[in-house]
Structure 1
Amino acid sequence: MRTAGWLALGVVIVCGTTLAVSRAAEESPAPSTEANAPPTAQPPASSVPVTPKNAAPPPSVTIIGASDAHGVLGRDVLSAANEDMGRIVDVIVDRSGHVRAAVIDFGGFLGVGSRKIVVDWNAMRFGKIVNKKDSITLELTKAQVAAAPEYKEDTPMVVLGASGSLQPLQAVQ
């Protein structure tokens, strides 16, 4: 019986607090915003929709089939002789946004002793799906890639390319 009395007192306190809060909310003026305004069937006649002067146009939408394009990060790269050349870990773009090269994690075993090598984007061939994977073939031999200097971020990079395919990067003014 004693527990029921405390429970009843708790209900009275909660109800009284809720009533006081709701009365205070009714009495205090709320800032007038559209979020607080009561819903109406029609906007007032004086209201004209306003759009910002520099509103962005709607974005374009393109649908690309799953078999037509794939991401390349993490993809395995093979030589023309079907040798494992590593996997793509980064893509290098110039200041205008054009893809220039790929960074390949080359050599080593299970990530130990591997080096990052930069290869010209045009030295790679993106083929059909083989064994449920996109095939990426590099037009360089394993020996050529092994002889390339290692890529280190924020330092000048040596881009290894297939014979005659790399165009020098033009200075952006």
Structure 2
Amino acid sequence: MRTKNLFTLATVIIVGLYGANSWGESEATAPASPPQDSAAPAMKEPTRPPSVTIIGASEARGVLGRDVRSPAEEDMGRVVDVIVDRQGTVRAAVIDFGGFLGVGSRKIVVDWNALHFGRVANKGDSVTLELTKEQVVAAPEYKEDTPIVVLGAAGSLQPWQFDH
């Protein structure tokens, strides 16, 4: 039954993306296109439709705003941003750490590979950071438009090389 529902949903999405004309409507019933000026550039090839992926509701969750805890269940702050490189690969997360009710807190950057998302089925579940509270306290503060110092689990970081 669930497979049938997913198939029906995918079909509805595809029909919406392609439109009725690509599903058998003839050119004679389609609205006439306005005459083209001979000086106008030739029409481009139609673009391919986007791919459609269906992810189960329990398989993926957002991470912004999630609480972060150490393996020892210490409060490590919350995820407030995600940092990607020029290719769009997720490299790190910005964590708002310390303080009380936003006062006295500071942002630090941790390597994406130091985060574990095993327990995020519900919005109240936290992300686990593979670092100690002492390591996070000693991390330099993140400030936008300055070089980023990324705190990572032992030996897991690769340097970023960008041309200016």
Do the structures match in fold with TM over 0.5? yes
Which entry has the higher C-alpha Rg, 1 or 2?
1
1:114 aligns with 2:105: yes
Quote the offset at 1:171 in angstroms: 3.2
Cα separation, partners in 2 of 1:124 and 1:73, compared to 1, 3 Å: same
Task: Give the 3-state SS of the residue equivalent to 1:87 in structure 2.
Answer: strand
Distance in 2, matches of 1:128 and 1:139, equals 14
1:92 aligns with 2:83: yes
Quote the offset at 1:170 in angstroms: 3.2
Pairing partner for 1:140 from 116, 131, 147: 131
Distance in 2, matches of 1:130 and 1:70, equals 7
Distance in 2, matches of 1:129 and 1:72, equals 9
Quote the offset at 1:128 in angstroms: 2.7
Paired amino acid for 2:58: S
Do the aligned partners of 1:126 and 1:134 also contact (CA within 8 Å) in 2?
A: no
Do the aligned partners of 2:77 and 2:96 also contact (CA within 8 Å) in 1?
A: yes
Structure 1 or 2: larger strand share? 1
Cα separation, partners in 2 of 1:88 and 1:168, compared to 1, 3 Å: same
Deviations 1:20-51 (A, max 9, x none): xxxxxxxxxxxxxxxxxxxxxx559x97xx99
Paired amino acid for 1:61: V
Distance in 2, matches of 1:81 and 1:150, equals 23
Distance in 1, matches of 2:99 and 2:58, equals 31
Distance in 1, matches of 2:144 and 2:29, equals 57
In the alignment, which residue of structure 1 is the partner of 2:66?
75
CA-atom RMSD in angstroms: 2.6
> Which consecutive residues of structure 1, in runs of 5 or more, have no partner in the other structure?
1-41
Cα separation, partners in 2 of 1:62 and 1:130, compared to 1, 3 Å: closer
Normalising by structure 1, we get a TM-score of: 0.67
Distance in 2, matches of 1:81 and 1:170, equals 34
Cα separation, partners in 2 of 1:43 and 1:122, compared to 1, 3 Å: closer
> Which consecutive residues of structure 2, in runs of 5 or more, have no partner in the other structure?
1-27, 37-41
Pairing partner for 2:115 from 111, 124, 133: 124
In the alignment, which residue of structure 1 is the partner of 2:54?
63
In the alignment, which residue of structure 2 is the partner of 1:163?
154
Distance in 2, matches of 1:92 and 1:131, equals 24
Do the aligned partners of 1:95 and 1:172 also contact (CA within 8 Å) in 2?
A: no
Quote the offset at 1:87 in angstroms: 0.4
